[in-house]
Each structure stands twice: as structure tokens, then as C-alpha cells.
Chain A
Amino acid sequence: MGDLLVPIEFALEMLPSLEQFTYGREPWEVYLYTWLMKGSADAIGSNGAKVWVYINQADEYVGYGSLAQSLLRYPRKTSDMVPVVDIPAFAVRDDLWGKPKEDRLDDVTVDGRYSSQIMRHLIDTAASWDGNFPAIKLSVDQRATKAHEFYERFGFERSGKPRVDGDATYDRYVRKLR
């Protein structure tokens, strides 16, 4: 694997340094910028979310990933809430999409692209959280077709009905952790 990413714990003081980076121009991509700049503080403060920024071997900022505990009422309507690890947001800066160049794109265990490295770090970290449901979930905008393919390559499966929030409709993706 070529350019190994290094995860660094995120702190709100980093935001002024990160505001110059974008993660695409489509509405669901702009959302990823907005979440980091505005939504992450609330997610960390009110929900104990964990956020990491990733830098490459050249000490360039590459992107960020996040994990947080969400609550599902499961398996019955009357059941207690079950904590499930969720990926609220994860993004690679748009000028580094598809990098570094990689030949073994089909094998996600060795795929060295930044997006795959970040996703592997998130899955590894989620699996090591204590007392959690044996699955990880995320919600993805239905219009983000490339993101759907990416999550499916990592074993995520679409589950349940889509949820509407404002202009966007989100699919819930779930993956077994262990």
C-alpha cells in the first residue's frame, strides 16, 4: 500500500485551517462541508461523536471521518433503545478523489485509495467500541450513486425504508461488524 494515512483526533480549533477544503459541488457533497464546519460541534458536544482528520505521508490534509452512537428501537416497537454505531459523515477532499492511483480496486482489504483507508479505519474503530450492537450503519443521500457503490463494496446493505429530510431522501445502510 503506497501512501498510508495517519488519523488524528479532531478538535474544533482545526476548523479555520480546514475551511479552505471542499468535498464536491453537488448538494450532498456540500452537505459534508457544512457538517464538518457546523454540525460536528453539536454532534461532539451533544452526542459524544468522534471525528478524525486524516493526513497523508506528505502531511497534507486528505479528509475526515466520524463515528457516533445512535439509538434504534429494536427488535420491537416496545423494545428499549439499542445503541448502534453510526457514521454521520465521512469525506475526502475533492482534489484528492481517486488517489493515490491504485490497481487493485476490487479488493477493499488492500485498496490503498484514501477513501478505502478511511473506511477501514472507521470499521476497525467501530468494531472495537465496547457494548455496541454488532452492526454499523450510515445514511446516504439517494442521489449520491457513487457513494452507494462504494459502501456496497465494503459489505453495507440497504436496509429499511428511506427517510426524508428537507430536499434529500436518505437510504439506511447497515453492515455486520463481527
Chain B
Amino acid sequence: MLSAMMRRIDALKSAASETRSGVRRSVRRHRCFRSPLGHRTLRSSTSARGDEDCGAARQAIFWTAGHLRARGFWTRRQTFEFAARVSSTVHVIDLVGEQEAEWRRLVFRGERAFSRRDEREFLAAYRSWIRLANRLIREFGETPRSGSLAIGMGVLEAKLCKVSESLNNWSPPSLSMAIGLRDDYLTESEAADLDRIISGKGELPYEPKSQPQKALPPSEFFRRFKG
């Protein structure tokens, strides 16, 4: 059983070997190998000359294919690097935006005093980001477009628009006008008083409804408003 199987495997190997050499022969004779570098046809050459021409032609083909592969890789790599730059640039402005929101919140609540220095740092960060984004957008014209990269560039352009607009309308943060929205610290007696109110068992003059009245969208105001 085993020996029969081994014989069958040998037979298959030899057939495969014949097939491979047959393929090689037909490839050598194929018309594609005649033209790339303007050589004479391989068929009309002597055997030695034919082998020489064939080698050069194949080399040319391999070189061209390799070059195309490398160029494709390089293009993909360039696109990938560019996409990474676009993505990180978008990410950076999101982080700066979060920092600014936190700074505004702290100033609004009186946890941090407003300082011109903080403000200058944010403005400088935004301006340098705008320069960077503009440079990327200029470069984008020279970079091959692909679906995701084009989407990324769209996001970047939208962010650039938004940041430029917010810089044009920039206003420094200010302390909350309503004293109740500033952070508050309770003394022990105040905390005890608050506890008393919260845990009070007395009946309230008005018990809140479980579902508040639904508010209409702002457009309704403009539709109904009579000046």
C-alpha cells in the first residue's frame, strides 16, 4: 500500500518536472520576450545567442516588474505616511481644543484665574497648527488620492475652517456672571444645614413631575415669535 503510494508520488513528481520544463520552453518562445529592449527574436538566434538574448530580456522583464512593484510600494508608503500625518494633525487640534475647553471651564468656575500668558499659549498653538494644516493641504495636491486619505483631508479642511473661524471670533474666557455657577465650598455648619434640607421629611409645596414638559427646537421660536 505504502510502496504503491510512493510510486504514484514519484510519477506525479516527474510529470510536474516535465510540465515545468515545458512551461519554461514556451515562456522563452513567448512574444513578450522579444520586444522589451528591442532584441531580435529569440527564435531566429543561434542557441548560444538565443540564450544570451533570452537572459537579457528576462532580466529586463524582471527589472521592470521589480521597478513597478517598488514604485507601487513607494507610492503606497508615501500615501500611508501622508495619511498618518493628516490623522495626527487632526488628533493634535482635537487635543488642543479639549485643553482650551477645560481652561475655559476652570476660569468660568473661578478655579483658575484668567491669565494673558495662558491665552497667548493657546493662540500660538492654534496659529502654528493652522500653518501646519495649510502646508499639508498644499502637499495633498501632489499626493495620490485614495478613499480614506481623501476623507481624512476633508476632515482636516473642515477643522481648519472651524479653527480659523474661532480665532477670528476669539474672546477670552471670563468668570461666571452668575455666582451660583462658581465652585462653592461648604463649611461644616453649611454642610450640616444642606443635609438637613435634603433629608427633610416634610411635604414640599410642589412635587416635580416625572416627565418635564418637552421643549420645542429653536426654529419654532423664529416661526412663532412676534416682535
A residues in contact (CB < 8 Å) with B = 6-11, 13-14, 17, 20, 31, 34-35, 38-39, 42-43, 45-47, 49, 52-53, 55, 58-61, 68, 70-77, 81, 86-89, 108-109, 120-121, 123-128, 133-135, 137-139, 153-155, 157, 159-161, 163, 165, 170, 172, 174-178
Contact = CB atoms under 8 A, between A and B. Distances in A.
Nearest to A137: B180
B206 A109 contact: yes
Contacts of A81: 183
Contact of B179 (A71, A124, A139, A174): A139
A47 B105 contact: yes
A70 B101 CA distance: 16
A138 B181 CA distance: 9
B212 A9 contact: no
B186 interface: yes
B198 A43 contact: no
B28 interface: no
A8 B216 contact: yes
Contact of B181 (A34, A47, A172, A177): A47
B227 A17 contact: yes
A155 B206 contact: yes
Interface residues of B, number: 51
A31 B176 CA distance: 13
A131 to B, nearest CB: 16
A156 B63 CA distance: 86
Contacts of B15: none
B209 interface: yes
Contacts of A109: 205-207
Given A72-B184, A81-B183, A135-B194, A176 B200 contact: yes
B178 A35 contact: yes
Nearest to A153: B205
Interface string B211-226: 1111111101110111
A87 to B, nearest CB: 7
A154 B200 CA distance: 15
B185 to A, nearest CB: 5
B208 A160 contact: no
Nearest to A55: B224
B208 A70 contact: no
Nearest to B183: A71
A20 B227 contact: yes
Contacts of A124: 208-209, 211-213
A75 B191 contact: yes
Nearest to A165: B179
Nearest to A45: B104
Contacts of A126: 208
B182 interface: yes
Contacts of A39: 176-178
B180 A160 contact: no
B187 A59 contact: no
A91 B72 CA distance: 68
Contacts of B182: 70
B195 interface: yes
B204 interface: yes
A70 B181 contact: yes
B52 interface: no
7 contacts: A35-B177, A49-B181, A68-B181, A72-B184, A155-B206, A161-B190, A172-B184
B173 interface: yes
A9 B214 CA distance: 10
Given A71-B183, A172-B180, 6 more contacts: A14-B221, A14-B222, A47-B109, A68-B181, A70-B183, A153-B205
Contacts of A120: 206
B180 A74 contact: no
